Structures are given as C-alpha cells and as structure tokens.
Amino acid sequence: MRSLIGASVVVAGLLSSTSNSLRGEDWTRFRGPNGQGRTLERNLPLQWSEDSNVAWKTTIPGQGWSSPIVSGDHIFVTTATDEGASCRVIGIDRTSGEILWDSEVHRQIPGPKRAQNSYATPTPVSDGARIYAAFYDGTIVAVDFDGKLVWKNEDVDFHSLHGLGASPMLVGGLIVMPFDGSSREEQRVGWKEPWDQAVLLAVDKETGNTKWRGKRGLSRVGHVTAIAIENGQTVVSAGGDRVQAHDVETGERIWSVYSQGEGVTPSPVLGEGLIFTSSGFEEPTLRAIRPGGQGDVTESHIAWEQKRGVPALPSPLYVEPFLYTITRDNILHCIEAKSGEIVWQERLDGNYSASPLLADGRIYITSEEGITTVLEPGPKYKEITKNTLDGKTMASIAVSRGNFFIRTGDSLYCIGNQPR
C-alpha cells in the first residue's frame, strides 16, 4: 500500500540517444541522463590518485553500492546502516563535499542477497526537485532536497536470493522500476524455474500512487535497469529469459524477445538502430535487437547474436562504431556493433562491477579494486593511463561540471579541480 507522507531516458528519439548532445551538467540517474554511460563534457580529469587531483573526499556511513547522482549543487547517494535495516538518502554539497543531511526514509527487514550486492544498491533518480530511491525490499520513496520524506510506495513485496540490483528511471512523469524477483516459499521458483510474478512498476512521481504494473509473463530473476526509446513513449527492460517493451502510458507489453538465462544484470544500450542486450547464466548471449513489432518477435527481430564477449555485471558501452563489453572472466571486448564480430579483446587486471563511461572522448573503466583504466576508443586496444583510489569500488562514475564523482566502500571522491 502507498502512504502519502507530505504535501503535495531517457532517449530523446528512437535509438538516437547516442548522437544527442548531453550537456553533462547534471547526472540524474544510473549511467547518466539517458542511461547510456556517455557525456559530451570536455576538459575532464585524466589522472588522479589518493594524493593528487582530488578536490574533496567525504566519508559515507553504512554500505550501499548505488552510484552517486548530481542535480545542481547537490549530490545524492543512498546507503543502509543498522546491518541493512535503516534505509537512508544522503544529500551532499557538490562544491565542498559537506554532508547537508542524512535522512532515514524507510526501515526494512534484511534478508538474503549475494555477497556482491548491498541493501542499498539501486541508484536513485532525480527530476531536479526530488530524489526517488528504491531499496532492497521493494519500497520506493520520494525525498525532497531538504531530506524530507514526501511519499512512500510499498506496493511490491520484493524477494530474491540475489537481492535487488536494478535502478529506477524517470519517464513521462512516472518512476519506472523493474522487480524481477523470486518466490519466498519455493526457492527455485522465479530463480531456476520461470514464474509469472515479475513486474515492471510505474509510480506517479507526484503522488506515489501506482499507475500500472507491467507483466513479464514467464520469466526469472534479473537486475536490469530500464531505458526509454521512441521519445519516451516506450520502456525497454529485461528480466531473466525476457527482453521486453512496454507502453509508458498503459504498461501494456508491446513486444518481447526470448533471451534464456537468469540473473541478467547489464542494462540495454542503443546504437546503429539496434538495442544491445545480454542474457545471464546458463546461455550467456549478447544480442542485437531491432525494435518494433508486436508480440513475440524473437524469430524476426534479432539482428545478430554473439556467444563471446557477453557482459556479466557491467553494462555495455557503445562508442560508434563499436560496442565495448566486460565479461565474467574480466576480458574487455571490442565488438563491431553492426555485425557482432569481435574486433579485439584484452584481459584486464582485477574484477569489474561498475559500468564503463565515455567522457571527453575517452573510455573509463573502474575495477572493484579501485583502479580506473583510461582507454582510447578504436579498432585497437590503446591504454592511456591508470588511476588508483583506496577502497572497494562497485558503483559507476558520475560526471558533472568538469568533475568525476567516484564512490568507494566508505567514501565519495570528487576528482578534478575544486568545483564551483
């Protein structure tokens, strides 16, 4: 049930986000304004360390693997304290790194999750007036820029042995959040065995009321953050075994592609008129899907499939004309986006959960060990430099106004010149 507490991606056109200009001034959701991990900002940091090119470093209490978001002079992160029971949203001054407020917005009962997950993993989203955040048990909250709870939606009682990994997005006045979980009573149902209880929830951002519940049909566990296409008219999301498009206004399922494998995590990426997705365990496959059609379009709308270079946790990155992916065994692949052919591959040091970033014409890839490798995009592997920070790093980099914001296990770093 929803309880009202107080008063009161987005892709601009079908598959056109990769050519649209991003000012990069605000970084308001997972992987930036359109969820593609790209910014057109220039004069961004190239090198840094614990002792150099760090404008400020702020200690973040608790644990959470949500990425930071930036809106105006504010940075927001979520975290969980009290062994995961206390769900919190933290507001931070962008210029100084000072914590402005730290608000408990919900209390939950911690349960099972993967060791790589946390009780505050979904990255929040902002519309410039409020922050919208989701937590481990399926609760979605709206918080104003003073840290006050506006509304809380508890219409989904989420459960998964993996925990919750997807993030909310904002489109058409709605907060859209995938809940691809599994059964509490029968451990294998929804995980190893398909079920029909997964939902794509759309919540009115003003009131917190549920507008619609998009149904997956038979599917399994997934952790995929949705994106919008067709000028925000269609949401594309994925769960275990399924990639689907839903109508933003009604929640009706438009088309679906079968994509065998549970536990899928990477978010869809756009380029070359295609949607790039991957499947999870069992049959890991990278797919290029032509959008459109009605019903099950598995036989007609898959442009190509590739069994090599399948991303595991990090989402792919499209930099024309290539797609970059990081596999479970930490091999970076460069793939021709039109054909799916492997151009090159390079084994990386470390382990990878954060999604890669295109910034200032360079690719930034951050390992769990806190090392960010900077590459030049192109048909050959060309490393520019490496940068190291202390602490485990699972969150993806945020970009705003000439700075990188990097979250580690206990800190948030502002990289670059002193913000203004």
Mean pLDDT of the region 374-402: 97
Mean pLDDT of the region 71-94: 98
Query: pLDDT tier at 25 (50, 70, 90 boundaries)?
Result: confident
What percent of the chain has a predicted confidence (pLDDT) above 90?
Answer: 91
Mapping DSSP to helix (H, G, I), strand (E, B) and coil, where does residue 309 land?
Answer: coil
Mean pLDDT of the region 291-310: 97
Residue 80: count of CB within 10 angstroms of its CB: 25
pLDDT at 404: 98
pLDDT at 305: 97
Locate 75 and state its tokens: 């940075």
pLDDT at 10: 33
Query: pLDDT tier at 5 (50, 70, 90 boundaries)?
Result: very low
Mean pLDDT of the region 106-129: 96
Q: Locate tokens 């009573």: which residue?
A: 185
pLDDT at 123: 98
Amino acid at 104: E
pLDDT at 289: 98
Mean pLDDT of the region 19-41: 80
Dihedral angle computed from the Cα positions of residues 344, 350, 354 and 357, in that order, rounded to the nearest 10 degrees: -40
pLDDT at 116: 87
Choose which CATH entry (3.90.79.10, 3.90.1150.10, 1.10.150.120, 2.130.10.10) describes domain 2-415: 2.130.10.10
18 pLDDT higher than 60 = no
C-beta separation of 223 from 265 below 8 A: yes
Query: pLDDT tier at 220 (50, 70, 90 boundaries)?
Result: very high
Number of H helices and number of E strands within the chain?
1, 34
Using a 10 angstrom Cβ sphere, with 0-12 exposed, 13-18 middle and 19 or more buried, the burial of residue 409 is middle
pLDDT digits (tens, 9 = 90+) for 96-110: 999 999 999 999 999
**Would you kindly state where each structural domain of the chain is located, as residue ranges?**
2-415
pLDDT at 4: 37
pLDDT digits (tens, 9 = 90+) for 225-271: 999 999 999 999 999 999 999 999 999 999 999 999 999 999 999 99
pLDDT at 7: 34
Mean pLDDT of the region 63-71: 97
Contacts of 188 (CB under 8 A, 6+ apart): none
Mean pLDDT of the region 385-407: 97
Mapping DSSP to helix (H, G, I), strand (E, B) and coil, where does residue 256 land?
Answer: strand
63 pLDDT higher than 50 = yes
∠ at Cα 75 (166, 119), nearest 5°? 35
Using a 10 angstrom Cβ sphere, with 0-12 exposed, 13-18 middle and 19 or more buried, the burial of residue 165 is buried
pLDDT digits (tens, 9 = 90+) for 330-359: 999 999 999 999 999 999 999 999 999 999
pLDDT digits (tens, 9 = 90+) for 358-376: 999 999 999 999 999 999 9
Contacts of 19 (CB under 8 A, 6+ apart): none
pLDDT at 281: 87
Mean pLDDT of the region 120-129: 98
pLDDT digits (tens, 9 = 90+) for 137-188: 999 999 999 999 999 999 999 999 999 999 999 999 999 999 999 999 999 9
pLDDT digits (tens, 9 = 90+) for 266-300: 999 999 999 999 998 888 999 999 999 999 999 99
